[in-house]
Chains A and B, each alone.
Chain A
Amino acid sequence: MIFKIISSLLIVTSTTMLGFAYSNKYRERLVQIRQLKSIIRDIENQIVFFTIPIPDVLKNISEGNNRVCTLFKYVYDVMLYDRETTPGEAFEKALDRDINGIFLNQDDKEILKNFAKLLGGSNIDGQINSIRMIEKQLDNQEVSAEQEKNKYERMYKSIGILSGLAIAIVLF
């Protein structure tokens, strides 16, 4: 009897944790899109006001301590390893790799790739224009991420708990 109760509790807690992990994905995505926006603003400042070369900009960004900065660290590593790569190729390589703790979805990554292709491809005015465009796209992504979060975060939490209870009751 006690064994039954303990194992049902184990099932319920594990599915609850699974549900929370899934719902966490939506919250983290929103947070990381916001971090990405601030990083892009930072990049803009470094390009426009300090006229720092792109690899050094990436190096400065990658020294930050949030999750998205680790992505830029990968990009910087790729560029450092192979001096011939353009920022576009470096971002492509880094984003195609599955980095642990990055919750951006395919659309966000596509936007970032497009941004990287334009990076370093023109003079300062051209780059400002492309940064403005990316900021607008990221704003849209932020709005959609927020909507998704409101919609699915609670759903996954309740599904986790309820499915655990259902399994426990069926097996009891």
Chain B
Amino acid sequence: MNVDLIFKIAAIGILVAVLNQVLIRAGREEMAMMTTLAGIVVVLFMVINLISELFETIKTIFKLY
């Protein structure tokens, strides 16, 4: 089990949160939303392998293939 990934996601979360606050303080709400979305997409790409692995496991457990 790779724990690094969790820390990586946590760091990205913190950075995106701070960036969001900075942009909102500067009156750029639309840009703040875009950065949040970008952060979500990046994290999603990071965990997509694990999700597919999970689905495969479920499939094999219940013999759905």
Contacts and interface: CB of A to CB of B under 8 A. Distances in A.
Interface in B14-45: 15-16, 18-19, 22-23, 25-28, 39, 42
A155 B12 CA distance: 19
A162 B27 contact: no
Given A151-B26, A169-B8, A170-B42, A159 B15 contact: no
A158 B22 contact: yes
Given A155-B22, A158-B22, A162-B22, A169 B15 contact: yes
B40 to A, nearest CB: 13
Majority-rule SS of B interface residues:
helix
A172 interface: yes
Contact of A163 (B8, B11, B19): B19
Nearest to B18: A162
Nearest to A162: B19
Contacts of B25: 155
B51 to A, nearest CB: 18
A94 interface: no
B22 A170 contact: no
Interface in A156-172: 158-159, 162-163, 165-166, 169-170, 172
Interface in A2-43: none
Interface of A: 151-152, 154-155, 158-159, 162-163, 165-166, 169-170, 172
27 contacts: A151-B26, A151-B27, A152-B26, A154-B22, A154-B26, A155-B22, A155-B23, A155-B28, A158-B18, A158-B19, A158-B22, A159-B19, A159-B22, A159-B23, A162-B15, A162-B18, A162-B22, A163-B19, A165-B11, A165-B15, A166-B15, A166-B16, A166-B19, A169-B11, A169-B12, A169-B15, A170-B42
Closest 5 CB pairs of A and B: A155-B26, A158-B22, A166-B15, A162-B19, A169-B11
Given A158-B19, A159-B23, A170-B42, 6 more contacts: A155-B22, A155-B28, A158-B18, A162-B15, A169-B15, A170-B8
Interface of B: 8, 11-12, 15-16, 18-19, 22-23, 25-28, 39, 42
